[in-house]
Each structure stands twice: as C-alpha cells, then as structure tokens.
C-alpha cells in the first residue's frame, strides 16, 4: 500500500474533490474493494467507481478501463521513487556520456550516432520548491500542447511578473524529464531526448529579496551558445553565428527537444530570436515565458485561485516553520493579490522576524523588491505615453470600469483609437485585465500605479477633477433623490457602487463639499434601499457639519433628517434617543425647507414614536402631517402618495395596538391607493403587513399568496430591509404550516439581513425562532 501522506499530496496537487480523494485514499492507500469503500462512505459501489473514473481523468491516466488502475499504480510508484531519490535520477541522466560523435570533415560538421547508452541532454535549473501547488489545469493543457500529436510548435506562457510562469515551465519540464528517464513506463506525459533551458531574466525574487541572476541568455548568440553547451557541441561557439544556427538546427532535427526561452521581453534582439524559433525543425517544442501576451498558442496565468493561494501560504509557512492562522492567511492572500512570488517573499520575511503588519506595506512599497520585480520593467517602458496615463487612471477605480469611463477620466479630449491601443498594451503586459468589457487592475498593481500617480502631481490634480466630475454626471444620470420608490436605473449604480463610494470618501477627506453634495443628493435613496446604512450614517454626519460650516442650512436640515430617519429604523435605544434629538433640531429649523419636506419630517416623528411605543404621540404627528398636506401645493400623484404614507402608519399604530382587523382594513385602503399611483415599494410593504396579519389571524393560504407576490418584487429591486421583513413573515408562516426546515432557513436569512442593517431587535426575534 502507498503512504497516506504521499497520496494526500497527490490528491491536492491534482485538485481532487473531497469525495474523489476519499475513494482514492481508501482504494490506493488501504487496498479496499469498492464495496468496502461504499460501505465506509455510506454510498454505492457504482458511485465510488464513478469517482475513481474522475480521479483517472484528473491524473491524466488514459486507456482501457481494465488496465487503468494498474497504470495508475505504476505512475504513483514511479512518482514516489522520484520523490525519494530525485538527485539519483538526475545524476543517472547526466552521467551517461555522448549520444553521438562530433567530427568535422572538409569544413562541414556531421553527427554519427552512438547506440551504446541512452542519454537525455538537459540543463534544467534546480526546483526552488519542495511541492508544486495548484496550476494543474494549466499543466494538463501544457502537456497536451507538448504532445507530438499536437501541432503546436511555439507555446507561450504569459502573465504579470511573479505569477509563476518560469516555475510552471520548469515544473512541466521536470515532469517530462522524469517520464523520459523511464521509457518503459506508459504515460501521457511527453518524453524528450533533450530539454534545454535559457533565460534572459535579470533577477530572482526570493524569500529574502531580489538576487541578481549571474548567467543570462539575452541575445541570439548567447541562446545558441547555451543550446550547444547542453548538447555537448560547444566547439561550434567560435564559428560565425549563421553557421552555429545551421549546425544547431541539424542537431536538433535528430532529437525530440523541449526548449524553454524564459523572459522573452528582456531579450535584446527579440526579433532575431523569434526568427530562430520559428525556423526550428518539427522535432522541437518551444515554451516561451513572457510578460507580454504573445500571438503563439497561449497559456495565460492569472493570480492563484484563493483555495490554491491559501494552500501555498500554509505550505510555505510549514516549510519555514512559521505559524500563520486562517485570518492572517486570508489577509496575506488579499494583500498580495494571490501572486505566488509575493506570497513566498512574504513568508520569507515573516520567517526572518517581521510581522505580517510590517510585511504587507513592504510588498506594496513601489520601491520595494516585490514591486520592482513585478512591475518596474513593464511600467518603465510606458513612461509618459497614453498606456501609462491609462494605468494611473485605472488606479483610481477599485472596481473595473468601461472603456468609455477610463477614456473620459484619463484624457481631457479622448481619442478612441489611442484609448483602445493603450488598453490593449496594458493587457499585453498583463498590467490590466479585461472582463466583460470592463477594465481593472489587481490590488497589488493598483497600489504600484497609485504610487506612480503621486509622482505626476500636475497630471494627478487634473485627473482627480475629471474623476469626480465623471461621477457627478453619472449620479445625476442614474440616481434619484426619491428614496421612497424603486428605480430600474439602480442597476447602473450597483455596478459602479464601490467606485462611487471611493469618490465620496475622497471628497470627504479633501473637504470638497460641493462635489460631495452633488453626488449624495442623487444616490442617498439607493444607499437607503440597498441597506448601506453604515455609510449613510457616516456620510450624513459629515454632511451635517460641512453644511453648517458652509452656512447651507437647507442642506444641513436635510442631512439631519437623513441621519435621523436611518437611526430610528435601527430601533436601538441609543439610536432612538439620538434620532429624537436630531428630529427635534430639524423641526426647529424647518423654516429653511419647503412644506413638502416638512411632511416627511412629521412622518419621521410619527415613526419615531411608533418605534418607541408612544402611540398617542405618533397619532398626533400623523395629524400634523395631515394638516400640512392640506396646506401643501402638491400634484395629485404627490398628494396621493402622502395619503398612502399617512394610512400606512395609521395601520402600523392599529397593528401595534393589537387591533388586527382595523389594521387590515387600513392597510387594504393604503394598498388600493398605492396601486392607483403605481407605487411598487409601498405596494410590497402593504402586502407584507397584510400577510403578517393573515398569519396572526390564521389565514395561512392568503398569507402565502401575498408573500409569493411581493417577496420577488423586493428581491428584484434588492431592497435589503423589505426582503428581511418578507422573509421574517414567511418564516412564521412556514413554522405554522409545519415546514420547519424552510422556517429555519428563512428565519436565519431574515436575521442575517436585519443584522447587516443593525436592526438588532428584529434579528434577535428571528434567531429565537430558528433556534427553537
């Protein structure tokens, strides 16, 4: 039987699911039959066979089903031997001498094969890791392309610096090398007679920092010299270059060869090197690693997926005897954007005595080792050109943006052709990514580009102004000051929400009152409905003080009411107390606002006292609201909406008094008026309250019909508060009908919604429901 730890590592390397891994370990580790495995896993033997079939596929074991398990065992035993004796295998291959005699006759070089011993020519660098984590999909694809059955001749592996291009190429080369050593072993991994590695990389990023690479192949002549040295024909190095090329091509035509050309972008005579690679014989497969997206058969490397990145963090921590808890692992992964080289560097720094809080700023430092390794070379080539300006522009956006947004902010007078070329160049250098027509930067790239922006002060000042102006116009186009109704254009705000929030926070920090106000007036309704109440409270508090300092009392009163209306809906004692104080202040300052605004202010007073259980005072404020309505000069629709509002809170008062029949009648009246004016949000709220009353009165069918009609409406418009209330009522309904699993699920979801809105009282009620 094979060792459990070894099989577990293989399972992780090949990304087996937990179910597949369980069958794999029991079959290969314990030798159990499929019937025994099925009994232990509480499943069927057929299900176990199916999972094992998926294991064969992921481990690239092909052929007839009868011989697959035997081939898998051979593969695993061979892999285990290689792990136990890696250096022995390497020495075995490199110790065997001359596959051919090299002679010169009348100025021509000829090769006479020597049959006595099989040899693999190779000059692979040492692996810099003890276990290769992740990238199995890319490895499988690369193996397919290297297969003699595939016509691909030039294969590129591209991606940002530090993403693992060289590591992937070297890992694949070693797997091919190890398989080539065992010619009798049946495998889908390609075999070669020569594996040659050349690199133009100037530095290594290691766990202790940047180290210069002492040997580099940065020219066509140097690459030819390294090929000749590896193939034991160094004698040709003194010949004219063209003759070297001809002899090298002749030699390579006799050998199945894998040639790795690392760091294409730093090769000095790139075009001449590419000409050589294009003209190589069909016996040669070439892997080119580059930061520039190439037009060969490409394998594009992005950041590690979170699961693999966290696994790499834990592996490196174990290797270096460093303890990192799950929270720190997540923080590190996010801080380095899942870039493997940055992860390895960070763990090395922690092992050297630094703490994580110190390491992350080092990584983001534009003059630090990681930033210089990953970005400097690429960015320096773009200085003071449109792609450079676009890169700095994209650094302002925390979410990807459209081409039009990037161009409109980057340039005073944007040219579509220049913009398209600039964005394409950033993608070619893996500095920016494009997803569904939107362009963005990785967090680590963004930090570097922001640092670049600070060194271009004049451009930064103009850029920031265009950035703010863009979102002022955007909020005017897609926002609305009416938070009482849902709006279809909120989808546009949702897409840009993180960017909008960033602009508002910057305006606050810079004290740009007018710009902040211009955006806030149009998005505060969206912020309320989507449940961003923390931001709403913070921003309203800042706006109150800024408006008072500016002597803008109309805005100050409005901001006071905005903050108070959010506080009283949270319903906590301290929030209600502050909300009452703010509403009283607003009421004393009401002369700065119109009667229409005063109607909303009176309504908020009524809500406050309903929340506090002071129902008589709530009724008095509804009376004041009714009197103000009679004085106001409103349109018919506006007047009817205000009447719906008054009826709604009259229904709430009756409900809270325990008079459910009267509450039902009032809510039905409000519902009819809301439908008449097409007020969807109010219609959904009435349905919710009528359903709640129907549950109390035992009319469960009626309650279900109402909820099934209005909950989808709230979900479609992503009204977080309305969704939470609907699910709370639905949970009570399911509990009464005996659907306890559904009731528990809905109560839990409602509680989570209330908690996100800081509505602790409602959340506790739901927690009590599903805990019981």
Give the pLDDT confidence of 225-246 residue by residue, as tens digits: 999 999 988 888 888 889 888 9
Could you give the C-alpha distances from 12 to 44, 84, 141, in angstroms and in order?
Answer: 24, 19, 18
- Alpha helices (H) in 530-552, listed in sequence order: 533-550
pLDDT of residue 7: 87
Strand order in the sheet with 257-262: 121-122, 194-199, 257-262, 284-290, 154-158, 297-300
284-318, pLDDT tens digit by residue? 999 999 888 766 888 888 888 888 999 899 988 88
Looking up tokens 């963090």 gives 313
Residue 82 has pLDDT above 80, yes or no: no
With cut-offs at 50, 70 and 90, classify the pLDDT of residue 206.
Answer: confident
H helix or E strand, kind and range, residue 286: strand 284-290
φ/ψ of residue 238, rounded to 5: -90, -5
DSSP letter at 131 equals S
pLDDT of residue 260: 94
Binned at pLDDT 50, 70 and 90, residue 185 comes out as low
Instruction: Give 598-643 pLDDT, tens digit per residue.
Output: 999 999 999 999 999 999 999 999 999 999 998 888 888 889 888 9
pLDDT at 731: 93
Looking at residue 102, what is its pLDDT? 36
Question: Cβ–Cβ contacts within 10 Å for residue 44, how many?
Answer: 13
How many CB atoms within 10 Å of residue 92?
13
Residue 106 confidence (pLDDT): 35
Q: For residues 539 and 354, which has the higher predicted lDDT (pLDDT)?
A: 539
| Structure confidence at residue 487 (pLDDT) | 61
| pTM of the entire predicted model | 0.68
The pLDDT assigned to 12 comes to: 84
Q: How far is CA 450 from the centre of its chain?
A: 20
For 530, residues 6+ apart whose C-beta sits below 8 A from its C-beta are: 490, 494, 497, 718, 719, 720
> What CA–CA distance (Å, rounded) separates 210 from 116?
45
Weakest-pLDDT range from 158-167, 468-477, 690-699? 158-167
* Average of per-residue pLDDT across 207-224: 78
Question: What CA–CA distance (Å, rounded) separates 332 from 313?
Answer: 8
**Which one-letter DSSP state was computed for residue 305?**
P
pLDDT at 558 over 80: yes
Q: Is 276 helix (H, G, I), strand (E, B) or coil?
A: helix
- Tracing tokens 């700095």 back to the chain, one arrives at 392
Q: Which has the closest alpha carbon to 610: 601, 619, 599?
A: 619
Rounded distance between C-alpha atoms, residue 409 and residue 402, angstroms: 11
Task: Count CA within 13 A, CB hemisphere, residue 571.
Answer: 16
Three-class SS state of 290: strand
DSSP 433-479: EEETTEEE--HHHHHHHHHHHHT-HHHHHHHHHHHHHHHHHHHHHH-
pLDDT at 92: 44
CB 682 within 8 A of CB 648: yes
Residue 64: pLDDT band with limits 50, 70, 90: low
Comparison of pLDDT for 624 and 109, the residue scoring more: 624
The first and second tokens of residue 393, run together, are 């522009």
The SS3 call for residue 717 is coil
Band of pLDDT at residue 445, cut at 50, 70 and 90: confident
* Cα 717 from chain centre: 24
Please give the mean pLDDT across all residues of the chain: 86
Which residues lie across from 284 on neighbouring strands? 257
Residue 465 has what pLDDT? 95
C-alpha torsion angle, residues 46, 47, 49, 55 (rounded to 10): 170
- 341 has a pLDDT exceeding 60: yes
Higher pLDDT, 255 or 111: 255
Contact at 8 Å (CB) between 273 and 261? yes
For tokens 């108070």, the residue is 564
160-169, 174-183, 278-287, 303-312: range with lowest mean pLDDT: 174-183
> Minimum mean pLDDT among 61-75, 151-165, 426-440, 609-623: which range?
61-75
What is the per-residue pLDDT for 485?
60
Q: SS3 string of 356-376?
A: HHHHHHHHHCCCCHHHHHHHH
pLDDT exceeds cutoff 80 at 171:
yes
Pairing assessment for the beta strands 401-402 and 209-212 based on DSSP bridges: unpaired
Q: Which residue has the higher pLDDT, 117 or 354?
A: 354
> How many CA atoms are closer than 13 Å to the CA of 603, on its beta-carbon side?
23
Beta strands, E only, 26-74: none
Q: Are 233 and 102 in contact (CB under 8 A)?
A: yes
**Which region among 1-15, 176-190, 605-619, 674-688 has the lowest average model confidence (pLDDT)?**
176-190
pLDDT over threshold 70, residue 647: yes
Own/partner pairs, 382-387, CB within 8 angstroms, 24+ separation: 382/425, 382/429, 385/422, 386/410, 386/411, 386/418, 386/419, 386/421, 386/422, 387/421, 387/422, 387/423, 387/425, 387/426
Per-residue pLDDT averaged across 361-371, rounded? 80
Residue 105: its pLDDT value, please?
36
Higher pLDDT, 493 or 647: 647
* Structure token digits, residue 298: 């490409």
Model pLDDT for residues 467-509, shown as the tens digit of each residue: 999 999 999 888 875 556 666 557 788 889 999 999 999 999 9
- pLDDT at res. 296: 82
For residue 507, the model assigns a pLDDT of 95
d(Cα 216, Cα 657) in Å, to the nearest integer? 84
The C-alpha angle with vertex 503 and arms to 499 and 505, in degrees rounded to 5, equals 115
In this prediction, residue 572 carries a pLDDT of: 86
Alpha-carbon Rg for the chain, nearest whole angstrom, is 34
Give the residue from 685, 689, 754, 764 showing the smallest Cα distance to 720.
754
Confidence of residue 97 (pLDDT cuts 50, 70, 90): very low
Please compute the mean of the pLDDT values over residues 170-194 and round it to a whole number.
Answer: 82
- Kindly give the pairing relationship between strand 154-158 and strand 297-300: parallel
pLDDT of residue 708: 94
Do residues 252 and 280 make contact, with C-beta atoms less than 8 angstroms apart?
A: yes
166 by DSSP, 3-state: which? helix
Contacts of 410 (CB under 8 A, 6+ apart): 386, 389, 390, 393, 419, 463, 466
Give tens-digit pLDDT for 406-433.
999 999 888 899 999 999 999 888 889 8
Give the pLDDT score at 183. Answer: 62
Token pair belonging to 109: 């070089």
Q: What is the pLDDT of residue 112?
A: 40
**Residue 134: per-residue pLDDT:** 85
**How confident is the model over 668-688, as a mean pLDDT?**
92
């Amino acid at each position: 039987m094979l060792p459990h730890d070894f099989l577990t590592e293989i399972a992780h390397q090949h990304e087996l699911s937990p179910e597949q891994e369980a069958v794999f370990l029991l079959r290969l580790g314990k030798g159990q039959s499929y019937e025994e495995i099925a009994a232990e896993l509480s499943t069927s033997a057929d299900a176990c066979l199916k999972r094992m079939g998926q294991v064969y596929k992921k481990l690239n074991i092909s052929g007839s089903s009868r011989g697959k398990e035997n081939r898998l065992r051979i593969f695993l035993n061979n892999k285990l031997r290689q792990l136990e004796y890696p250096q022995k295998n390497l020495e075995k291959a490199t110790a065997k001498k001359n596959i051919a005699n090299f002679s010169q006759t009348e100025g021509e070089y000829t090769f006479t094969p020597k049959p006595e011993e099989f040899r693999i020519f190779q000059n692979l660098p040492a692996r810099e890791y003890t276990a290769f984590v992740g990238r199995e999909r890319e490895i499988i694809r690369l193996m397919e392309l290297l297969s003699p059955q595939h016509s691909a001749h030039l294969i590129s592996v591209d991606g940002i610096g530090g993403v693992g291009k060289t590591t992937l190429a070297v890992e694949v080369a070693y797997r091919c090398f190890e398989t080539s050593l065992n010619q009798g072993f049946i495998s889908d991994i390609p075999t070669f007679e020569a594996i040659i590695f050349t690199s133009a990389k100037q530095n290594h990023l290691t766990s202790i920092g940047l180290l210069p690479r002492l040997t580099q192949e940065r020219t066509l002549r140097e690459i030819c010299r390294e090929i000749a040295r590896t193939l034991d024909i160094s004698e040709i190095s003194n010949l004219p270059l063209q003759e070297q090329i001809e002899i090298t091509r002749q030699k390579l035509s006799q050998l199945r060869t894998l040639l790795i050309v690392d760091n294409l972008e730093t090769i000095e005579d790139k075009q001449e090197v590419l000409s050589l690679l294009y003209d190589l014989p069909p016996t040669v497969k070439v892997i080119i690693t580059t930061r520039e997206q190439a037009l060969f058969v490409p394998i594009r490397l992005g950041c590690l997926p979170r699961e693999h990145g966290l696994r790499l963090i834990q592996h490196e921590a174990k290797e270096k005897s460093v303890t990192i808890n799950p929270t720190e692992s997540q923080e590190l992964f996010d801080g380095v954007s899942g870039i493997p080289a940055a992860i390895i560097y960070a763990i090395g720094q922690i092992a050297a005595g630094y703490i994580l809080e110190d390491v992350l700023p080092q990584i983001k430092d534009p003059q630090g080792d990681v930033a210089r390794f990953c970005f400097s070379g690429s960015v320096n080539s773009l200085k003071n050109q449109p792609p450079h300006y676009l890169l700095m522009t994209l650094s302002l956006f925390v979410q990807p943006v459209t081409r039009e947004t990037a161009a409109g902010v980057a340039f005073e007078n944007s040219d579509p052709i220049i913009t398209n070329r600039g964005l394409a160049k950033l993608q070619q250098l893996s500095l920016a990514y494009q997803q569904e027509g939107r362009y963005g930067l990785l967090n680590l790239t963004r930090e570097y580009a922001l640092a670049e922006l600070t060194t271009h002060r004049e451009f930064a000042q103009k850029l920031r102004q265009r950035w703010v102006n863009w979102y002022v116009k955007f909020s005017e186009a897609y926002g609305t000051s009416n938070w009482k109704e849902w709006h279809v254009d909120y989808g546009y705000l949702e897409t840009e929400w993180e960017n909008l929030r960033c602009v508002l926070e910057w305006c606050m920090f810079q004290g740009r009152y007018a710009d902040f106000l211009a955006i806030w007036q149009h998005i505060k309704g969206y912020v309320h409905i989507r449940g961003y109440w923390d931001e709403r409270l913070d921003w309203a508090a800042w706006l109150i003080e800024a408006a008072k300092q500016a002597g803008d009392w109309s805005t100050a009163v409005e901001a006071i009411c905005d903050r108070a209306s959010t506080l009283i809906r949270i319903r906590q004692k301290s929030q209600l107390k502050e909300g009452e104080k703010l509403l009283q202040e607003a009421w004393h300052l009401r002369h700065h606002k119109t009667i229409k605004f005063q109607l909303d202010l009176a309504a908020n007073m009524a809500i406050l006292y309903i929340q506090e259980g002071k129902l008589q005072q709530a009724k008095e404020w509804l009376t004041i609201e009714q009197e103000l309505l009679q004085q106001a000069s409103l349109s018919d629709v506006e007047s009817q909406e205000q009447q719906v509002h008054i009826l709604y809170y009259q229904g709430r008062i009756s409900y809270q008094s325990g008079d459910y029949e009267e509450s039902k009648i009032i809510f039905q009246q409000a519902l009819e008026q809301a439908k008449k004016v097409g007020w969807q949000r109010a219609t959904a709220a009435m349905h919710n309250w009528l359903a709640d009353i129907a549950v109390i009165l035992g009319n469960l069918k009626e309650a279900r019909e109402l909820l099934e009609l209005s909950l989808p409406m709230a979900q479609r418009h992503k009204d977080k508060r309305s969704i939470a209330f609907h699910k709370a009522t639905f949970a009570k309904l399911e509990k009464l009908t005996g659907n306890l699993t559904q009731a528990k699920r809905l109560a839990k979801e409602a509680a989570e919604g209330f908690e996100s809105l800081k509505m602790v009282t409602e959340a506790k009620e739901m927690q009590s429901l599903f805990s019981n």
